[in-house]
């Protein structure tokens, strides 16, 4: 009996792969109808992130750094000082949260066809981090626990609608490097 168990044990030991699939979840936008122009968005509401083919960043028209991207994105989305250069806010009534200001800011991400996937993921990661930190802060303020620790689906949905992941990806093109 023990021999058979040993045999099976060794078989499963060898075949086991312990990798849990993890990743960054995203939702692709539906394809645009051909004869519809994309809606106009005010300049102050857009935060452009360009990634060149040699993996260099251009953040809002200025050369940027990947390490600073998260904080810049966070400041853009939160607009704590109600600066007129940063996005407008809209007061919205959301269940469980009451009246909250929802940013109209959109992060526009554009990459070159030659950008490496690694860099793209790092940019996506930084932007996701900015959103999830803001969500954590709002959740701490309203419910006293972090967003990631929330278990009530209604609360999760409320926070999600207060701070949406508004990342828009442009169709890529060959952006010149120099």
**Span 55-94, contacts to other proteins by CB under 8 A:** none
Say whether residue 48 binds other proteins (CB under 8 A): no
Cα→Cα distances 174→28, 59, 70, 82, 97, Å: 21, 17, 25, 36, 44
Kindly tell me which of 7 and 83 has the beta carbon lying closer to other proteins: 7
Phi and psi at 141, nearest 5°, equal -70, -40
Asked whether position 25 contacts other proteins by CB under 8 A, the answer is yes
Instruction: Give least dist CB 102 to other proteins, A.
Output: 21
Task: Give dist(CA 115, CA 177) in Å, integer.
Answer: 11
Query: Considering the rule CB under 8 A, would residue 30 count as an interface residue with other proteins?
Result: yes
51, 119 Cβ separation under 8 angstroms: yes
Q: Is the Cβ–Cβ distance between 144 and 85 less than 8 Å?
A: no
Query: Which of 120, 143 has the CB closer to other proteins?
Result: 120
Stretches 77-85, 126-134, 139-147, 150-158: which one binds other proteins (CB under 8 A)? 126-134
Least separation in angstroms between CB 73 and other proteins:
12
- The Cα–Cα gap between 125 and 106 comes to 16
How far is 52 from 174, CA to CA, in rounded Å?
9
Residues of this chain that bind other proteins (CB under 8 A): 1-2, 5-6, 8-9, 12-13, 15-18, 20-31, 111-118, 120-122, 124-125, 128-129, 132, 171-172
């Amino acid at each position: 009996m023990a021999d058979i168990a040993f045999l099976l044990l060794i078989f499963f030991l060898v075949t086991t792969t312990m990798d849990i699939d993890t990743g960054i979840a995203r939702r692709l936008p539906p394809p645009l109808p051909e004869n519809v122009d994309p809606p106009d968005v005010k300049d102050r509401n857009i935060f452009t992130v360009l990634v060149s083919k040699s993996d260099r960043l251009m953040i809002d028209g200025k050369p940027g750094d990947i390490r600073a991207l998260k904080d810049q994105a966070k400041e853009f989305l939160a607009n704590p000082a109600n600066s007129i250069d940063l996005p407008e806010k809209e007061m919205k009534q959301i269940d469980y949260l009451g009246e909250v200001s929802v940013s109209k800011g959109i992060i526009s991400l554009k990459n070159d066809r030659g950008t490496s996937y690694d860099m793209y993921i790092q940019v996506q990661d930084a932007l996701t981090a900015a959103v999830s930190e803001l969500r954590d802060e709002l959740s701490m303020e309203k419910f006293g626990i972090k967003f990631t620790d929330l278990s009530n689906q209604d609360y999760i949905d409320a926070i999600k609608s207060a701070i949406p992941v508004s990342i828009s990806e442009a169709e890529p093109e060959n952006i010149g490097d120099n």
